[in-house]
Structure 1
Amino acid sequence: MYATAFGLNASDYGKTIKVGSDEFKIVGIKPRRSKFPIVGQSLTNGMNYKLTLDSVKSKLAA
């Protein structure tokens, strides 16, 4: 699994985080996208968005 390679836990999949004014559910990791490897699904419109690892890790730690 890619989660541990990026410093995340497998249990982080499916967690909800707030980035800016939007809420996202973590739905995947794309290791070839080094700048935006995390895939987050918007809880508002259901679309998938690319997120930075730093933004996701900081929100999970909060």
Structure 2
Amino acid sequence: MQKQYLTSAQVMSRYSISEMTLFRWQKSEKLGFPKPMVVNRRKFFKVDDLTAWERERARVSA
């Protein structure tokens, strides 16, 4: 099974956030946003990591 990745632009679209918000989420240790893989200065986020983060956020806020 091949792992799926999203670009920064796709992540911003997924959460309806700006580039600055994505930057802040990545810098916030408290938020625990998944770390991207960087290739040629482009960031790629694992879909599995994002899904796990969403579930954790939903569990914490419930």
TM-score by length of 1: 0.30
Structure with higher strand content: 1
Which is bigger in relative contact order (C-alpha 8 A, separation at least 6)? 2
Structure with higher helix content: 2
